[in-house]
Structure formats: C-alpha cells, structure tokens
Structure 1
Amino acid sequence: VDKLRAQAAEQAELVRAQETELNSKKEQLEGLRQEEQKLEKQKAESVKKLENLNTNLQDTQLNISQAKALITQLQEQTRQLNDAISSCDTVIESGDVSQIPDTALRIKPDFRDPLMRAIVNGDSNKQ
C-alpha cells in the first residue's frame, strides 16, 4: 500500500510538473502568437509604406522627366533667341534690314506668365 501511495505521489508530482511545463508552453505559444500578429501588422505597414514610396518615386521620376523636357525646350528657345538677336545685330550693323532671316522674325517662345503670353501673341490688353 505504501508503495502504491509512493507511486501515486510520484505520478501526481510528475503530472504537476507536466502541467507546469504545459502551462509554460501555452504561455510561450501565446507570446509567439502575439509576436506573430505584431510582425504581421508591421509587415502590412511596411508594405503600405513601400507602395507609397514607389508611388512617390514614380511621381518624382515623372516630375524630373518633365523638368528635363522643359529645360531642353527652354535651352532650344534660348538658342533660337540668341541666334535671332545675333542676326538682328548683324543686320543693324550692316544697315540692310532686308537681310533679316524669316526665322528670326517667326520665333514664338512659350511663356507661362499670362502677361508675357499676351504680349507675344499680340494682345497687350489681356492681363
């Protein structure tokens, strides 16, 4: 009988130890699940940030491309204006106005300013 009691006590102690270990593992599992949820949330936030960054990158690349195109256009207009000024200076120095090339008289630069646009288009009343 004592032997059975000792075995029962030993088994009860073993069961308590296993229950303690099981509870510890359950707590560990719950902690891991919470960590997983936290990481999933961080991942979703990071993906959203990445998508926003990609959108901003595309917008920035478009803006850069448009700015480069505008710079090229302005450089070409500057070249045309400088050529026209040079031609006009030469004609003025020679005194022969008939030598002004038609291209120098037909330059129509693009202006963003409404007043300048109106002046170039010949309508000085628009402001």
Structure 2
Amino acid sequence: AAWLHKATRNPTFLSYIQVNGQTLVADDSDNTFGWDNKHVGARILLSKAFLLQRVQSLHDYKGHADNFICSLVPGTPFSQAQYTPGGLLFKMSDSNMQYVTSTSFLLVTYAKYLTSAHKVVNCGGTIITPKRLRVIA
C-alpha cells in the first residue's frame, strides 16, 4: 500500500496503512531489502511521511527505519551487519551486490529525509548523522 500511495497519491492507500499498519509490520527486525522483500523499503518510505509531511499516525515507521539503520552501522550497540576488510557490506553470499546496492540506496534516501527534517538517528546513545549514512553508503 505504501508504494501504491507513492505512485498514485490516492489517500485510500494511506488510510489503509494507518488502519492496518501495526498488523502489516509483521517482523520488525527484518532488515533485508531485496527483490523479494520490500518491507524495509516501505518503512523508509513511510518514515518520510512522518518526517517531512508530519503524518503523526506514521511515527512508528521512523522507529522502524531507525532500527534498520542501527542494525547496519558499525560500532552501535545494535549493529548486526558484517563488512569486508575493505568496508563493503556483506549480507548474503549469493548475489551480495544486490543487497549492497539496495541497502546503499536506502541509506542515502533516509539520509536525505533526515537532512530535510533536521533529524538524526539515536542508536542506543550513539548518534548517527545523515552525513555518516552517506559515508557508509
């Protein structure tokens, strides 16, 4: 529904998310964005509505997006990501670059939203700025 709302601007899709969002979130800890799983991307997209358009009913999506970021940033208490010695994200042994590329896209996109909203991500006391997200991407 998030992608349909973005594409059509039809408020019915946003209403659907507002009513059913808690049920649809399913596994909040799912931090893989790929061709067959768009949940993290939808959470980042919905966080934009909260951050920039101030749709208060979508405030949880900023938290979901922040959790995703905290799972990726090295040195944070919640970091779960692996990186190669050269600094490349290592997500899956098969077709790793699709995950690197899509995750980099989400990092840059979220950094853009945070910059526009003058916000940061707090990962258990470690502050992550939009600039740091761009560096990681």
Higher strand share: 2
Query: Normalization by structure 2: what TM-score?
Result: 0.25
TM-score (norm 1): 0.26
More helix by share: 1
Greater RCO, CA 8 A, separation 6+: 2
